[in-house]
A and B are shown apart, each in its own frame.
Chain A
Amino acid sequence: MLKLKEFEFFSPYTCEELFSLIKKYPEAKIIAGGTDLIPKIKRGQIEPNYVISILYIKEFDFIKIEENEIRIGALKKLRELEKNEEIKKIKGLHIALKSVATPIIRNSATIGGNLLQDTRCKFYDKSKFWREALGYCLKKGDAECRVAPGSNRCFAVFCSDIAPILIALDSEVVLIDSDLKEQRIKLEEIYRDDGINHINLNGKILKEIIIPREKFFLTYKKLRIRDTIDFPEAGVAVVVKKESINIAISGISSSIFYLKEKISGSDFNLQINKLIEEVYNSIKPMDNLYFPPLYRKKVVRNFLVKAFKEFNESEIF
């Protein structure tokens, strides 16, 4: 059996308690559902001495449907979200939610956790024995990057299914700091294209996700070899609003690749074709997931073509 290393575990009930623990143990790992963190501790990828659970902080677990926006607490379980009637109406989001892992995992996994998950790499998500035999890597073990030897940055991949959808929908997040002050920013601002430091929260806690309610076309296409359990090897979210086209893609870089353009008004299909080519040329997946990088690029292109075909057929605008 893979065994967890020993650590001290705390379970605060309030934000105040939480921040006082964070101040006392700055290297502590935060845990919610644990579906990302626990396997990594078992494999020795993350070796915390202190773990702080936020599962019991009630202020983070809610869903509010308002006139102009949907507000979801970071602790909302994915499975609860996928069963929510309002969420079900946002078809692309519902598809993305249902595509994450398996129903059993989604019973524990939270939306905040999905948005803040660790980056992944086939040289990193392995047992300690394997990584030791390999010689470790840049992300863990202070050695050379195994995917891009000689590189001074890590290329581990960000594989959230929910992030690209929310970014394409122009969603915002609410962060809360140790003084309990709240800050509202665009979701894409918390991501950084670096495999090791891909999350930029500046010591704050992710409290809430806000999705604007408006008219839009949304589709999510996920590349993986089977129809369950796997992470996206390319997760393509396409949103068309009245005046803009948003494309966001996970699984091909250390953050979320996104491109947002105003609809030019003249030839829509010409603009789309140019956009697809631009995306194809810009994305640079590395050979550190399951499928080869060039294949993932090609599928992204095929997914985009299909997404816009579906948009044209939907006649939503």
Chain B
Amino acid sequence: MEKIIGKKRKRVDAGYKIKGTAKYAEDFYAPNMLYMKFKRSPYAHALIEEIDYSEALKLKGVEAVITGKDLPVKYGILPVTQDETALAIDKVRYVGEPVVALCAETEEIAIKAIDLIKVKYKELDSVLSIEEAFEKENVRVHESEKFKGNAHRVIHLEFGDVESAFKECDYVREDIFFYSGNAHLPMEPHSVLAVPEENKLTIYVSHQAPYYLHQILSKALSIPQKNIRIVVPYVGGGFGGKLDPFPEIVCAGKLALITGKPVKCTLEREEVFYNHRGRHPALMWIKTGLKEGRIKAIHFKSFLDGGAYGSFGVACSYYQGALQTTTYKIPNYKVQVVRFYTNKPPCGPKRGHGTPQPRFALECHFDKIAEDLNLKPHEFRLKNLTDSNFVTINYLKITSSGLKECIEKVIKESEFEKKHGKLPYGEGIGFAIGAYLSGAALPIYWNEMPHSEVVIKADRSGIISVYSGHTEIGQGSDTMLSYIVAEVLGINPEDVKLILRDTDTVPPDLGSYSSRVTYMVGNAAFEAANKLKNVLIKTASELLEEKEDELIFENYKIKTKKGDKEIELVEVIRKAIEREGPLVFTGKYKPPPILGKYKGAGVGPSPAYSFTACVIQVKVDTDTGIVKPQKVWIAHDIGRCINRKNVEGQIEGSVYMGLCEALTEKTEYTKKGLLKDTGFLDYKTLTIKEMPDINVYLIETHDKGGPFGAKEVGQGPLLPVIPALCNAVYDAIGIRFDEIPITPDKVLDAIERNKKRIGPEKIIDFKFPPPIKVEVPENVKT
């Protein structure tokens, strides 16, 4: 069957990355380059009274200094939240916020010069938590006309009628959960080089979405898009942390324009923590009503700690309530969400984008419900699963679904039923499921244009080139693209020439976010490659005097299926060029229109959903309280696996990230808003020594809309890991941890004090406006 798709082959960028020849943003240099550094705010909330950089300018080698007034235009990644400037204007809103940017001949001079800048502040009271943001209404991070206090976004949606539904239930349960904030930790810090040329500012930057950045930079710098060029090399990890238009990108551009010289800035690790845009801390409440073991209604509330600016926060807020319905049939559903501004580095999109928190709450809540009902955790899930080809109550169209097979696979392979509730004290096993989008159905800037465009070219030397604007952030997107084109045309993926991610030369792709690249870029590439294939097959059929459907592409030749005739691919290409002209074809992809029409309906829809089930076995060290994962079984409905090794790596990486979020990671701040852990030694993540064996199972449901049937794998597998871990800890020591991370000191304390549950006791008493009531879809009405 397929020669390349689904096989274990190396990535097309493996050689470059291992040998160190792969270029990342920091590797770009230019003659006369200047180095940029920031002066950052030491206060969480303060008025800027005076900035004196005269001493800095006197230092030999310092070329230019800018402050907020040099970049007054407000911008933001989402059209609905344009609340940022590159440098603080009038006041600072978090410790670490950039206030002054300067550039100098060397990094050492820039560092010295920063110390010579004097900024006078008037300290203000700050809000550093959800509770404080809510209670201290008069301490305003932003002045927003829409809501009192620090509420940035308020959501209240109701599908069906939950109150009436609860009345008909024979079982109702409510729980409260807390999910800590955390960071992305890409190995490569943010880096940018801005090079000014005649009429063109070229930005070499480590970024996930160059085409969005292109638009926003134009606004922030007040120069037309045609005079800006964005080039993105390999990106050393993003995880959502490189999607925003960061201050260093805007400032490097501005300083380059002012000085006429290239300006470079690579952030230190501590500065990456200040850029942040990481996981929103979430305080959540959930209430579920059942009748005869079937879900009748769910009411969900989430309070988010958004940090000082909006970032993707509004989208994250809608995602809090959007995807619960993809795994469970919920006939009545109410969602209430508030995102608060606080005086901390802004939160934004991190792998999962607003879905890990509610999924953690849901799966732990359901584990408790299953126990109440005397059902095994998976039995309760199986009674309430969604199906394939199903429209959810919030208008999400599920196409293919292998959720049931994923559940059955991990339950079987882990011998779950033999172990659950039966292992010796200190050992336990837990289960959870999850689902995720294969790309958001709507772009960030609403329009009807394709989300991905790909150009393919075959030239007379036989070289197949593919032009695509997608970003390779380590997820293997270059490889996915090469594999698809290579499979269609019968060549090796390594020989697909890639011309990539340059806003001047290459057609756009919206970016690496919401797990859209395989599905959308893959489809666009598939379309383009097939257009080329059709022209070549037509030419070959004439040359070989065979019917088109008798011919196959294999190993740089076009041959008959019987094997009796063949012709070199390059010959066919040359002949086709003679007959048709240049062989240049385009492919595009735009998701089908969304079904929902209510406000907020744009967040959640996707052309396809992936599904994951996970079982984790743990051992708790009762001397130290350290939870040690022993083994993980994880089954993922990927639709179709394109590169087996890469996919398994993605799933293992998700398990790693999930275990870190569940066990060690937290972004915490002192009473004055200083980030407590500013580097990898202090901010704890697991290492290879803590990682358990991971058994990966791929369930292939061959989604009709995906390229070769493929769906996503970059974010979905993360989701069930955290709740599965928490459920395993309960099975091991009989203590429910309704807040994460489950740190050793909490475990030891809970064991010693015979606690049954560790978690938040209450949510906040926020007064929501009346809900937007949404008419339920036809198929759900019954």
Residues of A that sit less than 8 Å from B by CB: 1-3, 122, 125-127, 129-130, 132-134, 223, 225-230, 290-292, 295, 298-299, 302-303, 306
Contacts and interface: CB of A to CB of B under 8 A. Distances in A.
Contacts of A302: 622-624
Interface of B: 40, 42-43, 95, 107-108, 111, 266, 268, 270, 622-626, 664, 670, 672, 674-676, 678, 681-682, 684, 686-687, 689-690, 743-745, 748-749, 752
A226 B682 CA distance: 12
A184 B748 CA distance: 43
A118 to B, nearest CB: 14
A292 B682 CA distance: 14
Nearest to A305: B623
B676 A122 contact: yes
User: Is the contact region of chain B dominated by helix, strand, or loop, or is it mixed?
Assistant: loop
Contacts of A129: 40, 42, 270
Given A226-B686, A290-B682, 12 more contacts: A1-B268, A127-B270, A129-B270, A225-B626, A225-B744, A226-B664, A228-B689, A291-B744, A292-B745, A295-B748, A299-B623, A302-B622
Contact of B690 (A125, A127, A226, A292): A226
A227 B622 CA distance: 16
Contacts of A223: 624
A291 B682 CA distance: 11
A3 B625 CA distance: 39
Given A226-B689, A226-B690, A303-B623, A122 B682 contact: yes
Nearest to B752: A298
Name which of A127, A133, A299 has the most chain B CB atoms within 10 A of its CB: A133
B749 A295 contact: yes
13 contacts: A127-B678, A130-B270, A130-B675, A130-B678, A133-B43, A133-B672, A225-B664, A225-B744, A230-B681, A290-B682, A295-B745, A295-B749, A298-B748
Contacts of B43: 133
B591 to A, nearest CB: 41
Contact of A299 (B624, B675, B684): B624
Contacts of B266: 1
B398 to A, nearest CB: 39
Contacts of B686: 226
B606 to A, nearest CB: 36
Contacts of B681: 125, 229-230
Contacts of A132: 42
Contacts of A133: 42-43, 95, 672, 674
B113 to A, nearest CB: 13
Nearest to B690: A226
Contacts of B690: 226-227
Given A1-B268, A291-B745, A299-B624, A134 B674 contact: yes
A225 B625 CA distance: 10
Contacts of A1: 107, 266, 268
B623 A306 contact: yes
Contacts of A303: 623
B748 A229 contact: no
A122 B745 CA distance: 18
A126 B678 contact: yes
Contacts of A126: 678
A125 B680 CA distance: 12
Name which of A126, A127, A132, A225 has the most chain B CB atoms within 10 A of its CB: A225
A241 to B, nearest CB: 25
A227 B686 CA distance: 9
Contacts, number: 73
A230 B679 CA distance: 13
A292 B108 CA distance: 38
A133 B97 CA distance: 12
A223 B744 CA distance: 10
A229 B689 CA distance: 11
Nearest to A303: B623
A2 B623 contact: no
B253 to A, nearest CB: 21
A3 B111 contact: yes
List of 8 A-B pairs having minimum Cβ-Cβ separation, nearest first:
A133-B42, A295-B745, A227-B689, A302-B623, A228-B687, A225-B684, A228-B689, A226-B687
A226 B111 CA distance: 34
Contacts of B743: 225
A1 B264 CA distance: 12
Contacts of B626: 225
A229 B679 CA distance: 13
A127 B682 CA distance: 12
A98 to B, nearest CB: 11
Contacts of A229: 681, 687
Name which of B42, B624, B684 has the most chain A CB atoms within 10 A of its CB: B624
B182 to A, nearest CB: 15
Nearest to B44: A133
A158 B681 CA distance: 17
A23 to B, nearest CB: 31
Nearest to B38: A129
A230 to B, nearest CB: 7
Contacts of A127: 268, 270, 678
Contacts of B749: 295
A299 B689 contact: no
A317 B539 CA distance: 89
Nearest to A225: B684
Contacts of A125: 681-682
A302 B675 CA distance: 32
Contacts of A306: 623
A291 B684 CA distance: 11
Name which of A226, A228, A303 has the most chain B CB atoms within 10 A of its CB: A226
A2 B676 contact: no
Nearest to B747: A295
Contacts of B687: 226-229
B624 to A, nearest CB: 5
Contacts of B270: 127, 129-130
A225 B660 CA distance: 11
Given A126-B678, A130-B270, A133-B674, A290 B748 contact: no
B674 A295 contact: no
Contacts of A227: 687, 689-690
A303 B623 CA distance: 7
A122 B674 CA distance: 12
Nearest to A102: B687
Contacts of B623: 299, 302-303, 306
Contacts of B748: 295, 298-299
A229 B682 CA distance: 11
Nearest to A3: B108
A311 to B, nearest CB: 16
A291 to B, nearest CB: 5
B345 to A, nearest CB: 13
A3 to B, nearest CB: 6
A229 B680 CA distance: 10
B38 to A, nearest CB: 10
B186 to A, nearest CB: 17
A295 B744 contact: yes
Contacts of B676: 122
B388 to A, nearest CB: 41
Contacts of B678: 126-127, 130
A21 to B, nearest CB: 26
Nearest to A4: B108
A228 B623 CA distance: 18
Contacts of B108: 3
A3 B624 CA distance: 38
B130 to A, nearest CB: 23
B735 to A, nearest CB: 16
B95 A226 contact: no
B190 to A, nearest CB: 13
A229 B686 CA distance: 10
A3 B107 contact: yes
A132 B681 CA distance: 20
A146 to B, nearest CB: 9
A226 B664 CA distance: 9
